[in-house]
Structure formats: C-alpha cells, structure tokens
Structure 1
Amino acid sequence: MKLSVPFWLGLGLTLSGCLASREARIESDYSYAGTFRRYRTYEFVTGSGLAADTSKTGEVLRDAIRTRMKVQGYRAARNRPDLLVIFRVFEGDMSFRGYAQDDIARWVNNGQVEDENTPKEERQGYRPVRMILAEGTLLITLVDNHTNRAVWNGYASGVTVPPGPRGEVVLRRSVRSIFDQYRVFTEGYLNGNEGQGTHN
C-alpha cells in the first residue's frame, strides 16, 4: 500500500554515516485532524522496507509495537483496521521538521478535532520547528486508514543498535519510549470496557 505523507510531517531527510552511540532524543507530532477517540484497531503496512522485512530487526520492532498497542487497548485487525503502522530506522544525521504542540493527551481529552468545516479562526495552526537529529533515528507513524493520512509521528534519535541480544533490548526500549509520547488508550479500556474509542 502506498501512502502519501501529509505536509505536517514535512520530512527533509539528510542521511549519512551509521548508527552512533548517543543518548536518544524522543519527540512526537500529531495531526489536529486525527479522530483519536474513534481508533480501536491497527495493522502494519505491507510493502518494501522494514515493515515487510522478515529479518530479526523487523520482527523485534513489530513485536515491540504490538506489545505496546495491546497495552493501550488496541487490537490487531487485518480487515479494515482503523490505524496503519509504519516504522523505519534511518542511519546517519537527519534534518527533521517537527511541530510545537500541546500534549496529545490534553488535545484528545478536550475532544477536539479539526476538519474542513472548522472555521479558520478556530484552527490551531502548525508551528514548525527545525531539528537536526543525531545519528540513527527510529521513526514510527500511525496512519488513519480511512483518510489515508498520517495522524501521529513518534521518533527516537541517537539510537545505537548493537548486534545480537543487546540490539533487541535497545529497539524494544526505543519503541516503549516513543509510545510514551502517545498516551492515548482506547476508550473504556482502563475501566475494563475495551474498544469504544480513545481517551487518556
């Protein structure tokens, strides 16, 4: 499945070198058009790259993401999932345009969603922030399957992935750190009523 990345992600990638040993920087952005209260299910995007990779790295990342999605109340679904998950590891330094935003949990809890009917004066607007990320970045994107638009983007930069079991630990820890930025649970999940939307 080919997906178009919306303007708000604005990825400008400059890749060079290899993964380096530095403290990871964790950041995230989200779309004001995301209907986060309605998302309940997910599936990984198939195609080329790590998402379709059967290597150990691809398997570890998929397993770590599945674990975290389950913890937050989301269910895997092959048939018409609400969210599509894309992940990728970039080597080298990376020029990235992020956005200064309120915490996503606050946005979701306020029940706000922007669409084509939102008056211009009531729109939040995106405040771009240009960043240079350290060598080695793990990027995870959640895409609204119904609109084909990315609604959340989380990443860890300065990620070192050594060979063997230590590398698996680093990848799993990076996924957990990234999803700590996505503090959205399916509605009712924390109260024992799964699959009714999302809230924090």
Structure 2
Amino acid sequence: MKWYVTLLAGSGLLLSGCLMSREARVESDYSYAGQFRRYRTYEFISGDGINSDTSRLGKAVRDAIRSRLKIQGYRSAAIRRRPDLLVNFRLFEGDMRFRGYAQDDFSKWVKTGYSEDEETPNQDRKGYQPVRLILAEGTLLVTLIDNKTNRAVWNGYASGVSVPPGPQGEIVLRRSVRSIFDQYHVFTEGYLSGQNTANETDE
C-alpha cells in the first residue's frame, strides 16, 4: 500500500484534535510494512531550497538529523553502498491540511517485531483509519523511506515552527529535529549491546 501523507500516531489525539488543531504539536506515524529492526544505514535525498547542501537552514537540519541517527546506531552509507533508509525533509510555511491515520503507539508496534508485506492476508492487516488534521503556522516534516521498496515507513513532524532569520532560525530547526526524533525510539539491532560495529564509516 503506497502512502505519502502523514499518518497520525496515537488514537488519543482523535478526541482532542479539534481543540488542538491550531496549537503546536510534535507527532509521528509509521507504515505497518516497515522493517525497523533491520535498518542500519541511511543517506539524504538531495533537492532544492532547504534540502539543498548550499542552504544554511538545510545544513542545520541535516546536521541535527545526522547527530540523532548516530546516537541511535545508524551510519551514513559508505560510498558505493546502497543505504537502508533515505531521509527526506521539508519545511512548509503557513497552515497545512493533512489527512492522517489513527495508530497504536509506535514504540509498542516496533517491540512486537511484526511487519506486513504483500503476502499478509487481508484479515490480518491492521488497516489505516483516516482523520483530518490542521497543522498550524509552519511544519517541519521528516520522512524515512525504505530504499529497497521505495516506500515511506516513518514520518515525524513538528507544527507551529516559525523560523526567524539568521542563526536563531538554525537553533529553532535543530530543536525541532530533536523533538521529532524523540518520537523515533528505534536503535539499530545490537547497537546498545555493542554488537553493531558495522564496517561502514561516517562520511
């Protein structure tokens, strides 16, 4: 099942969605097909604007993402090596309308070790329950894409992100990245026990 729009994590937000729709929030969502325990390496998708290497704001976001992924055991893909994950991010200005989906807590889902694929029977699929959201006054969206299937497996977003000019804007974005990845409670397999000593080197 292909999907790109943000999925809403946490069914509790459904009850308070109307009241909180204009307030800042940090949330995440995920694909039931994600192989989260198998991912170890990553690389960024290049692009224009904030995604560009020449953008100071883009560099601030990239550096913040690199630092956080390194802490969790992920490594930048070595030259000529295919990364497990592709990382994309985008900063939206103003209010946004998103179609999200109510889901179980991400950490609990990862602990189950369960993952859907094309062979999963329909009666065993979780399914996505849609809900409409309004994200207020600026949203930073980070998407992790499974490079093998070319499908997004995790989205994290912070709304209410107002980026002032100059160095202060970089500080705001770095803090937003940290808040977003607080939602991604996944360490690479064996990393905490010291077993994940991959041969890849950080670039």
TM-score category (smaller protein): 0.7 to 0.9
The Cα RMSD (Å) is 2.0
Partner of 1:117: 119
> Hey, what's the Cα distance between the residues in 2 that align with 1:123 and 1:90?
32
Q: Deviations over 1:13-34 (max 9, x none)?
A: xxxxxxxxx9631111100011
> Hey, what's the Cα distance between the residues in 1 that align with 2:4 and 2:87?
17
Task: Kindly provide the amino acid, as one letter, of the partner of residue 32 in structure 2.
Answer: Y
Q: Which residues in structure 2 correspond to 1:152-163 (within 5 Å)? A: 152-163=154-165
- The alpha-carbon distance between structure 1 residues 61 and 10, as it changes in their structure 2 partners (threshold 3 A), is closer
Structure 2, unpaired ranges of 5+: 8-21, 199-203
> Hey, what's the Cα distance between the residues in 1 that align with 2:4 and 2:93?
22
Secondary structure (helix, strand or coil) at the match of 2:156 reads: strand
Q: Deviations over 1:54-110 (max 9, x none)?
A: 111011000000001101110001420000000010001000112211122211111
- Does the 8 A contact of 1:74 with 1:195 survive in 2? no
Is 1:144 aligned to residue 154 of structure 2?
no
1:164, distance to aligned residue in structure 2 (A): 2.1
> Hey, what's the Cα distance between the residues in 2 that align with 1:194 and 1:23?
40
Moved over 6 A (4+): none
Partner of 1:75: 75
- The alpha-carbon distance between structure 1 residues 152 and 118, as it changes in their structure 2 partners (threshold 3 A), is same
1:195, distance to aligned residue in structure 2 (A): 5.8
- Does the 8 A contact of 2:24 with 2:135 survive in 1? no
Aligned mate of 1:9, from 5, 9, 15: 5
Task: Kindly provide the amino acid, as one letter, of the partner of residue 91 in structure 1.
Answer: E
- Does the 8 A contact of 1:23 with 1:159 survive in 2? no
- The alpha-carbon distance between structure 1 residues 168 and 10, as it changes in their structure 2 partners (threshold 3 A), is closer
- Does the 8 A contact of 2:96 with 2:134 survive in 1? yes
Partner of 1:18: none
- Does the 8 A contact of 2:6 with 2:29 survive in 1? no
Secondary structure (helix, strand or coil) at the match of 1:7 reads: coil
Partner of 2:61: 61
- Does the 8 A contact of 2:100 with 2:132 survive in 1? yes
Partner of 2:11: none
Secondary structure (helix, strand or coil) at the match of 2:195 reads: coil
Aligned mate of 1:107, from 97, 106, 109: 109
Aligned mate of 2:192, from 186, 190, 193: 190
- The alpha-carbon distance between structure 1 residues 34 and 167, as it changes in their structure 2 partners (threshold 3 A), is same
**Number of equivalences:** 182
- Does the 8 A contact of 1:134 with 1:158 survive in 2? yes
- Does the 8 A contact of 1:186 with 1:195 survive in 2? no
Aligned mate of 1:164, from 150, 163, 166: 166
Is 1:87 aligned to residue 84 of structure 2?
no
Structure 1, unpaired ranges of 5+: 12-21
